[in-house]
Amino acid sequence: MNLQETLEKEIIKAVGQLYDATLETVEFQATRKDFEGDITVVVFPMLRVVKGNPVQIGEAIGSYLVDNVAEVSKYNVVKGFLNLVLSDAYYLQFFESVSNFSDFGKNAQGEDAMIVEYSSPNTNKPLHLGHIRNILLGFSVAEIVKAAGKKVYKTQIINDRGIHICKSMLAWKRFGNGETPQSIGIKGDKLVGNYYVKFDQEYKSEIAQLMAEGKTEDEAKAQAPSLLEAQEMLRKWEAGDAETVALWKTMNGWVYEGFEKTYKALGVDFDSYYYESDTYLLGKDNIIEGLEKGIFFKKEDGSVWCDLTDEGLDEKIVLRSDGTAVYMTQDIGTAIQRVKDHPDVNGMIYTVGNEQDYHFKVLFLILKKLGYSWAENLYHLSYGMVDLPSGKMKSREGTVVDADDLIDDMAQTARTISEDLGKIDDFSDTEKEQLYQTIGLGALKYYILKVDPKKRILFNPEESVDFQGNTGPFIQYTYARIQSILRKADNNALDSLQIDEIILQGKEKELLKQLQLFPAIIQQAADQYSPALIANYTYELVKLYNSFFQNIPIFGADSNSERNFRIQLSKAVGDVIRTAFGLLGIDVPERM
């Protein structure tokens, strides 16, 4: 029984004894910072069964708890709020009971498994800043859900087919002169992306020429030779033309190698890959089956639809009149296929931008109508756009913020700021480079993940690398400071502790209260699929630790017991920072 359950049981007993009334539940909330207390009991709801003045009722219950619950040392009542102060012994027992704060808050994996899909790029361009938000969110949510006790499969579906792929292929055939990533020393995804931009330049030039000859803009767009040739290339690919398929495989291979380098640089991974070239025919059998069961209906032209008007949505086409699939068809088939591939899966999380909100509402409803029990546990991790001070990004025009360039720029920004601070003069060149990467990536990841996924972000690289405020480097610096303290401490300080000799200072108690919240924060972040909860919890922990560090002497403590406790408390905070940042995919440096 946890403390809140104990308090609820005793408060119900107190109301029974003091007022001969039956209280069903007790409402708790965190004590406001301007009042003394650790947990607050809200008295007002009790007035339904207890008649009287809420302040007097609070006083009576508070007095009862001090006499009957060892963990409650004193209380105060503010209007209808009973603020309970918990004893030092309660917090010290908690601290002593956690044998290893490195694993604190994590649950052992249960039998339930979830699939988390993220990244899912097109193979006609490199990954960019928008992909980075997707990747960081998906990876972090996967780690958080895993820490909360579920088995997780990380996956993506790679959009490796379609007209956009053929545009890059066509431009390379026309202008590439046989160049390869190796021959010109460029990452494969960047090379292919350059030809996607090249296609767009040629296409626009052809449109302008046709319009000069008297065509309307719509006519010119439809009749431009480059587009017609790309459409013919797509038809050849779908027909299995050997030369076209060979080029498609070669250029996609270049892109995959490039993607893997970016994923490695970001520190993310996947357990499986799905390719649209394999999945685009999936789902048709499921539609036919649903048609037979009356879940779908056929219109006069032979197209198949799902009527979702009772759910407040529209009718949705799931099969064209010529029997070909739409995106919804293959998404239905892919979801079903994934569960076949992973029979222990009981739900999926799709990390996709908020422009697809409606698509996923429809997809989830259709899968429920088809009778799949796991469809009750589908979640669209919808997120907002990432903007830059310079404005929006456009892939076709080559104005995107390339992911690799951004990672390098972040490390360079970290270098400049670190050198200005002048605290790493004794580092080797290798150690410095590693530190710049750790700080730069930490700044990028934290800046993106500290924001609620649904909100739009204006990303400011320089602001993200600030060593003050709610930033990754500020938290990393505090972790490094704690490691410095631990290096100064003798082994005995970490091994021995006389808890009964400790009288807690206010700053120490605040830290223990924050540490105690960590398991609940992990569970809450997993339930809400929100890394922002982990990020902002960690920032609050670090602020409390820095206040403790500045106001409470560690090595200058009055007794060995106090010194050892403060050193061990520092270690616990460091362990939780490392664990929390691990859930965000962020490394922490031992020295800064």
* pLDDT value for 390: 65
Low-confidence ranges of the chain (pLDDT < 50): 392-398
- For the chain, percent of residues with pLDDT exceeding 70: 98
- Gap between the Cα atoms of 388 and 559, Å rounded: 53
Residue 126 contacts residue 135 (beta carbons within 8 Å): no
- Gap between the Cα atoms of 172 and 163, Å rounded: 14
Retrieve residue 549's tokens. Answer: 């560090």
How would DSSP label each residue in 448-475?
HHTS-TTS-EE--HHHHT-SSSSSHHHH
> Of 3.20.20.70, 3.40.50.1220, 3.30.70.270, 3.30.1360.70, which CATH number belongs to 3-86?
3.30.1360.70
Q: What is the pTM of this model?
A: 0.91
Per CATH, the number for 405-583 is 1.10.730.10
28 three-state secondary structure: strand
Domain extents in the chain: 3-86, 405-583
Give per-residue pLDDT as tens, 189-228. 999 999 999 999 999 999 999 999 999 999 999 999 999 9
Q: Would you say the CATH fold of 405-583 matches that of 3-86?
A: no
* pLDDT value for 427: 87
Contacts of 511 (CB under 8 A, 6+ apart): 541, 544, 545, 548, 569, 573
Retrieve residue 80's tokens. Answer: 């209808």
- Long-range contacts (CB closer than 8 Å, 24 or more residues apart) made by 164-167: 164/122, 164/124, 164/196, 165/122, 165/123, 165/124, 165/248, 165/251, 165/252, 166/230, 166/231, 166/233, 166/234, 166/237, 167/124, 167/196, 167/199, 167/200, 167/203, 167/226, 167/230
